[in-house]
Structures are given as C-alpha cells and as structure tokens.
Amino acid sequence: MNAFIAVLQNNMRRALVHKGRMIVTFVLITGAILGAIFFNTRAEVAGHIALVTQNADVYPGNPALRVTTVQNAPPLSELVSGAFDAVVTDLGNGTYEIMSIKGAELEEALALLLEHPGDESAPDDGDRKIGASIFGFLLMFILMQGMTWMYLFAEDKEKRLMGRVAASPVPFTGYLCAHGLFSFAFMLIPAVTILYAVKWILNVDIGLGFLQYVLLLSLLCAFSTALALFLNAFIRKSDSANMAGSATVVLTSVLSGSFYSFEKGNAVLETAIKVLPQKALLTLANGMESDASFRALAPHAAYVLILTIALLVLAVSKTKRENVMSR
C-alpha cells in the first residue's frame, strides 16, 4: 500500500511540471459541456435549413424553422459540421427536395413543416435529451484524455524504468494500478466538478442527476484508462500509441453518434456501429435519462465493463511479461 501511494504522489509531482495538460483538460471539458448545452437548446428552438431557391419570396416561412436562403446548395461539409440540419431545394409549385444526414425521420418532419407553414412544432432530429447530449459531447474528449494522462506510464516504459521497478520490492501490479488510478481520477474529477460548476453558474438543466453522471463518467473513464494502457503496452513508441489512439477514438466516437447519428437507413453501418463501446455508453446515457429499466440498461453497462476488464488484463499481462517474467 505504501508503494501504491508513493507512485500516486510521484505521478502528481510529475504532472504538476506539465501544467499545460491540466489547463487543456479543463478547457476541453468546459467547452464540450457548454457546446452540448448550446446546441441542444438551439435544436429545441428550431431546425436550421439551407433553402436553395432563385426566388426567396416563394417560401411562406415557418416559425419553427430557421431558414438561410442560398442560390447554390452548400457542400456536404456544412451538414457534417452542423451548420445546417438539412438542405432543401425548391422545385417549384410548392414542392421541395430535402437532403439531411440526420436520418429519414428528420426529413419527414421537415417535409410536414414545409407543407404546413402554420405548424409551429419544431422538427425532432432524434430522441436524445440534454443529459445524453452532454455525455455524448464529453465522450470523445475523455477518451482522448486517457491517452494524454497515460503519458507517465509511457514515459516510464520508454526510459526503461519499469525494469527497475520490477527488480525492486515494489509490487509490479500495484505500480500499474497506481498509474491507472491516477489517469482515472484526472479524467473523472475535473469532468464532474466542471459539469456541476456550469450548472450552478448558468443555472441550466443538465438532464441527469449527480449520481447518474458519476456512474456514467466512471464507466467511461475506466474504459478510457484501459484503452490507453492497452495501446501503450502493445505499441512501442508513445507518440505512435497516442496517434493511433486519438485517430481511433475520433473516428469511432463520431460514427457511434456522439454528436449525431450516422446509422439510420444504412443496415451495414448500423450493424458495425452496434459493436462500438461508445454506442453502448450513449445508449446507456439515453436510457438513464428516459428512466429505462435496469434490465434494459444492464447489458450495455456489462458490455463496456467486460471490454474494459479484457483490455486491462491484456495490457497488464503484456507489461508484466516484458518486465517481470523476462528477468
């Protein structure tokens, strides 16, 4: 236990040398939470469409839609970035062609609003609420921070300090657990603290309760720690592990629907997305906010937990085999 605490204290002293990492962590988490609140609030007010028409007066207007009139269709990147919910092309005689990456449900809702301008109900681009939206925005950033805070483990590995630890009386498993707990705490504590500081300062609804956020973020931080430890254990260079991890996290998080859903209408993509742990975490968050039963939520939590344990076991086994059993 003394060795475990000593490793944690040493990691804290080493982390304080790189204060920039802490500042970036706080800025990213705060930005993610504020972004989720902003975009979720905007989505409740209206859908934002780009109306492609040569005659702006042809559209009677609808209070539930925010319309930007353009003469040429904007590029697909405008939809991907969230600048527009859909591109609507005026075909004349009161008919429109609608294109959106947010699924057929939103397109149908927009079609109804265009056909019935007096209807003031805003289109629904999904059933995700504010709590699940905030968690979705945090998801990618916290997974990337796992790679950031595991840099002390990677540094020890590259400098061959683990061999010295293995040769000392310090329990090697305790040494690895201390690295994992350090990374876990440096992700979880700032996220929960900033989340509730934003709630208190802005007096906004953040959807989920304190305990629910702690449970969700704990599971996310544990998976992030396991993934980072796994990549650093199996990839020799820390820079390569960081790049591989960051690229994988960004791609899989976006595909899983951290910001919006890609899967509707594509059976192959939908099947592939279902195996992503981020998808299970998002489903878990959405279910918690919708008061789903424990039986409905348990499989998703168990799936992420099993993946986390599997990654930890593989990472610890690989590291111990290289530094303990080889001696």
Does residue 122 fall inside a structural domain?
A: no
Average pLDDT over residues 245-269: 74
Residue 216 and residue 150 in one domain = yes
Does residue 11 fall inside a structural domain?
A: yes
Give the pLDDT confidence of 119-159 residue by residue, as tens digits.
544 444 445 677 888 888 888 888 888 888 888 787 777 77
Domain end position, chosen among 115, 140, 172: 115
129 burial via Cβ count (<10 Å: 0-12, 13-18, 19+): middle
Domain membership of residue 53 as a residue range: 47-115
Check whether 244 has a pLDDT greater than 80: yes
DSSP-assigned states of every residue in 83-115 = S-SEEEEEEETTEEEEE-SS-HHHHHHHHHHHH
Residue 52 and residue 25 in one domain = no
Does residue 121 fall inside a structural domain?
A: no
Give the pLDDT confidence of 69-103 residue by residue, as tens digits.
888 888 888 877 777 888 888 877 777 888 887 77
Phi/psi for 237 (5° steps) reads -95, 135
pLDDT category at 234 given cuts 50, 70, 90 is confident
Residue 313 and residue 262 in one domain = yes
Domain end position, chosen among 94, 115, 136: 115
Does residue 120 fall inside a structural domain?
A: no
Does residue 227 fall inside a structural domain?
A: yes
Residue 100 and residue 242 in one domain = no
Residue 68 and residue 192 in one domain = no
Question: Residue 90 and residue 107: Cα distance in Å, rounded?
Answer: 15
DSSP helix, strand, coil percent of the chain (3-state; round to 5)? 70, 5, 25
Q: Please tell me the total count of domains within the chain.
A: 2
Residue 151 and residue 265 in one domain = yes
Whole-number pLDDT of residue 127: 54
Sheet containing strand 95-99, edge to edge, reads 65-70, 47-52, 86-92, 95-99
Does residue 146 fall inside a structural domain?
A: yes
Residue 66 and residue 159 in one domain = no
Domain end position, chosen among 115, 146, 168: 115
- Within 10 A of 49 (CB to CB), how many other CB atoms are there? 25
Question: Residue 108 and residue 100: Cα distance in Å, rounded?
Answer: 10
Does residue 294 fall inside a structural domain?
A: yes
Residue 55 and residue 198 in one domain = no
- The DSSP symbol for 77 reads H
Residue 216 and residue 159 in one domain = yes
pTM of the model: 0.71
Check whether 22 has a pLDDT greater than 60: yes
pLDDT category at 12 given cuts 50, 70, 90 is confident
Residue 136 and residue 285 in one domain = yes
Residue 34 and residue 55 in one domain = no
Residue 32 and residue 157 in one domain = yes
